[in-house]
Structure 1
Amino acid sequence: MTHPHKTIVFDLDGTLVDSLPDIISSFQYGFTSLGLPAPTDAEVRPLIGHPLEAMYAHFAPAHAASLCTVYREHYARNFVNRSRPYPGVVELLRTLRERGYRLAIATTKRTDMARRFVEALGLTPALDHVQGTDGFPHKPAPDVIHRALAALGTAEGLWMVGDTTHDVHAGKAAGLRTYAVTWGNHDAGTLATAAPDELQPDLGRLLEHLPPLPRA
């Protein structure tokens, strides 16, 4: 009998990686390049975590397709200008792997972009699977979490860790416990409306919930 691998699922942007400045600047670049007035940082930030097309449609529905094309070209060249893992993330992932857990990413980024991003930041060796959202319902639907777990074969999802209410709702819908971190896109008050199991300023408390697994 094959025992399920106990798996922790993480969002990427705003959860493991402080990437919002690069995302916002690339998002704004699209407007500038097409001669359109660009929204401010404060206007863009609440929309991060939604699909790119929906974000652009909010501001310029007639130009959304063109803006997406410009964004993807620009972001692919500038995605690690300022983006870095949050303090303690690399150590946390290493510790969880040492304790016997599988680690997966479930992000709204497209899979190809997410994997390039993770690789550029040097996080690929710390993760078992990187799952993006490719043509199926995005968070708060649980589809991306289900696909991440399915990709690992016999995977039992324990926690969904994220920085937005979309992550929390998706985790709950997938039957996982939810851990919301406040250093990303949604503040503590916003996150509290989704009633996560843990609401914390960083990822430190996650280790308290995940002791070393018994060796097979």
Structure 2
Amino acid sequence: MTPLTPLPPLVPPLAVGFDLDMTLIDSRPGIARAYGILAEETGTEIDTDLVVSRLGPPVEIEMANWFPPEDVQLMSDRYRKLYAEYGVAGVTPLPGAREALAAVHAAGGRTVVVTGKFTPNARLNLEALDMRVDALHGDVFAAGKAEALRAEGVRVYVGDHLGDVEGAREADAFPVAVTTGPYDAESLRAAGAGVVLTDLTAFPAWLTGYLAAPC
């Protein structure tokens, strides 16, 4: 009897995750506008330049810097409505974002956005920019992203924040970082990023090399 040839090990289908704000899109103008309107409505001084310099954590964390605890949830909900109405139009893709998504699809993979942004607003951003992704998970941050990443079978997760690196590592996904957000390359590497890119323009070439490397 001819012995059976062992089958090669199964490689899971490619799924690549991306953060949204300051990874795929520059949402700073829209966020600043929504916070500015909120400041006018409430008579509260909000430093919008400071706000957009530290994007990543949930809105409630930022809002706690400007409003008393009892008002944080109300103001966060109001901000999200203002952003949907006035902020989406000010958002643009970051360099290489479209090409990065296309590279994953060209490799036969799925693109998954996992973001701390309010899910309906994240969807509005993607639709407004005609950026096609295969799955979207919002309202999660840092290690909280791991559940969505695992559920989608994400092998590589790309983000600009230390929390993105944490989420990737928690999900056993390869953490790719970009320096388009609030952290420099040294900080991202220290947090555990497997590779740090200046922006997403370098991602397609990196992905080609990653997929060609022996498992």
CA contact (8 A) 1:105 1:148 kept: no
**Residue identity opposite 2:55 in structure 1:** I
Could you say which residue in structure 2 is the equivalent of 1:96?
104
Which secondary structure state, in structure 1, belongs to the residue aligned with residue 201 of structure 2? coil
Which secondary structure state, in structure 1, belongs to the residue aligned with residue 145 of structure 2? helix
Could you say which residue in structure 2 is the equivalent of 1:147?
148
Could you say which residue in structure 2 is the equivalent of 1:81?
89
Runs of 5+ in structure 1 lacking a partner? none
Structure 2 length normalisation: TM-score?
A: 0.83
CA contact (8 A) 2:122 2:138 kept: yes
Match of 2:172 among 162, 172, 175: 175
Cα separation, 2, equivalents of 1:71 and 1:197: 35
**Residue identity opposite 2:191 in structure 1:** A
Superposed CA offset, 1:177-197 (max 9, x none): 111111223333443431311
**Residue identity opposite 2:63 in structure 1:** Y
Larger of the two Rg values belongs to structure: 2
Cα separation, 2, equivalents of 1:193 and 1:59: 31
Match of 2:39 among 9, 17, 31: 31
Could you say which residue in structure 1 is the equivalent of 2:114?
106
CA contact (8 A) 2:88 2:124 kept: no
Q: Say yes or no: does 1:48 pair with 2:50.
A: no
Cα separation, 1, equivalents of 2:187 and 2:40: 31
Runs of 5+ in structure 2 lacking a partner? 1-9
Could you say which residue in structure 1 is the equivalent of 2:6?
none
CA contact (8 A) 1:32 1:38 kept: no
Cα separation, 1, equivalents of 2:62 and 2:54: 6
Superposed CA offset, 1:30-79 (max 9, x none): 2221011122412x135421111111112222431232132112100123
- How much does 1:92 deviate? 2.3
Measured on the aligned residues, the alpha-carbon RMSD in Å equals 2.3
Could you say which residue in structure 1 is the equivalent of 2:136?
130
Q: How many pairs were matched up?
A: 201
CA contact (8 A) 1:19 1:83 kept: yes
- Runs of 4+ residues over 4 Å off in structure 1: none
Cα separation, 2, equivalents of 1:192 and 1:3: 27
